[in-house]
Amino acid sequence: MTVHRDIKRFDSPDESRTFDKGRFELVTIGDMTVGRASYEPGWKWSEHVGAATGSASCQVDHVGFVLTGRARVRMDDGAEFDLKAGDLFAIGPGHDSWVIGDEPYVSLHFLGADEYAKE
């Protein structure tokens, strides 16, 4: 029997996408790409990511987990909700988001990571 192991760390990501007030690091492990979003206070998707992609709202499907900080999400239909440390989330396409408060926001993304913040 062959034992397969793959151990990686975000300290050495396979890819890093940087933008003003934030970065998104990707690690591929097995058949899965996991992303780590790190945003500074004042970061807003529509300003710091969307402007570069030419999109008015994020069209990526996300499933993830918030490690630290808080963020507000506004769906294209106007619905709003907050994410905070310890929350698991599933957010469909068509949304904006921004950091709330003065603590950096960090989350892991298990779905949508490979498509997020591509120019």
Residue 84, Cβ neighbours under 10 Å: how many? 13
CATH number of the domain where residue 29 is located: 2.60.120.10
The total number of structural domains in the chain stands at: 1
Q: Note whether residue 1 is domain-resident.
A: no
The verdict on residue 80 lying in a domain is yes
74 is a domain residue: yes
Asked whether residue 6 is assigned to any structural domain, the reply reads no
Nearest by Cα to 57 from 42, 43, 77, 71? 77
Domain that holds residue 63: 15-115
Does some domain include residue 98? Answer: yes
| Residue-level pLDDT, tens digit, the chain, 119 residues | 666 788 999 999 999 999 999 999 999 998 999 999 999 999 999 999 998 888 889 999 999 999 999 999 999 999 999 999 999 999 999 999 999 999 999 999 999 998 888 76
Nearest to 44 by CA among 73, 76, 80, 14: 73
How many angstroms from the chain centroid is the CA of residue 37? Answer: 4
Among 31, 82, 44, 89, residue whose Cα is nearest residue 65: 89
